[in-house]
Amino acid sequence: MSQVFTGKNAIVTGGAGVIGMATAQRLVAGGARVALVDRDSDRLNANAAALDAGAAVAIVADVTKQAEVAAYAERAQRELGPIDIFFNNAGVEGPTALLDDYAEEDFEQVQAINVTGVFHGLKQVMPRMRDGGAIVITSSTAGLRGSPGFAGYTMSKHAVIGLMRTAAIEGAPRRIRVNCVHPAMVNSDMMQRIERDRGDPAAMHEKFLSRIPLGRYIEPDEVAALVCFLVSDDARMITGGQYLIDGGIML
Ligand SMILES: NC(=O)c1ccc[n+]([C@@H]2O[C@H](COP(=O)([O-])OP(=O)(O)OC[C@H]3O[C@@H](n4cnc5c(N)ncnc54)[C@H](O)[C@@H]3O)[C@@H](O)[C@H]2O)c1
Distance from Cα 113 to the centre of ligand 1, integer Å: 10
Query: Is 217 known to be catalytic?
Result: no
* Annotated active-site residue in 72, 102, 153, 217: 153
Give me the pLDDT at residue 138, please: 99
Give me the pLDDT at residue 159, please: 98
One pLDDT digit (tens) per residue for the chain, 251 residues: 578 999 999 999 999 999 999 999 999 999 999 999 999 999 999 999 999 888 999 999 999 999 999 999 999 999 999 999 999 999 999 999 999 999 999 999 999 999 999 999 999 999 999 999 999 999 999 999 999 999 999 999 999 999 999 999 999 999 999 999 999 999 999 999 999 988 899 999 999 999 999 999 999 999 999 999 999 999 999 999 999 999 999 99
Give me the pLDDT at residue 5, please: 98
Nearest to 20 by CA among 194, 137, 127: 137
Ligand 1 close to Cβ of residue 115 (< 6 A): no
User: Taking the complete model, does pTM exceed 0.85, yes or no?
Assistant: yes
Ligand 1 close to Cβ of residue 39 (< 6 A): yes
Give me the pLDDT at residue 1, please: 56
Distance from Cα 119 to the centre of ligand 1, integer Å: 16
Give me the pLDDT at residue 52, please: 85
Name the closest-CA residue to atom 1, ligand 1: 186
The amino acid present at 128, given as its one-letter code, is: R
Domain map (residue ranges) of the chain = 9-245
Give me the pLDDT at residue 53, please: 82
Element (H, E) at 58: strand 56-60
CATH of 9-245, one of 1.10.1760.20, 3.40.50.720, 3.30.720.200, 3.40.50.2300: 3.40.50.720
Give me the pLDDT at residue 172, please: 98
Give me the pLDDT at residue 129, please: 98
Number of H helices, E strands in the chain: 9, 7
Under 8 Å between Cβ of 137 and 160: yes
Alpha carbon distance 33, 51 (integer Å): 10
